[in-house]
Amino acid sequence: MKNFMLFATAFLLLSQPALAGHPYGDDEQQHSKVMEDIPLMEGMEETVPEMDANNPGQMKEPNQTSATITGNEQMVKSYYNEQLLRKGWQPLNAQNPNVYVNDKGETLRVDADMADGKTVVKLNRTPAQAKPQVVAPAPAPKKKQFGESSQYHEEQQ
């Protein structure tokens, strides 16, 4: 029993700094101020979000942010691929390697482009849709019969 108590006390004392960190883990890692669960690379400077003039205290685009860093696009893309996979995001598909989806159904697009010697990273989150919209298929066009003219076919529709 004494050993168990010593072990439990040691565990709690050693784990306390880790538990007191950032709410999304990686307490040493910088996170976006707009999307708090999305990490920023060391040295990245996030653009100050534009505030909504009609709703004081709220951001105009709460699901979009951008940041700049000295470095190349490939370095940024590799960083986000690694970090987002660790946080449970998965690439949408091979045709969209810069779009990730999480278990909530949200998507996150990570675009990186060079401008003036720096890489500009744009992050755009799309919330999950409550219910997919079901679209009724359009009626099939009426086929022309042998010998019918195009004018006759248009008049019948």
Q: Which fold has domain 21-130?
A: TATA-Binding Protein (3.30.310)
pLDDT in tens, the chain (157 residues): 555 444 444 444 444 444 333 344 445 788 998 888 999 999 999 998 887 778 877 787 888 999 999 988 888 989 999 999 999 999 988 888 899 999 999 999 999 998 888 999 999 999 987 544 455 566 666 666 666 555 554 555 5
Give the integer Cα–Cα distance in Å for 155 and 157: 6
7: its two tokens: 């072990």
Q: Which pair of tokens denotes residue 150?
A: 């195009």
Q: Are 110 and 83 in contact (CB under 8 A)?
A: no
Residue-level pLDDT at 63: 87
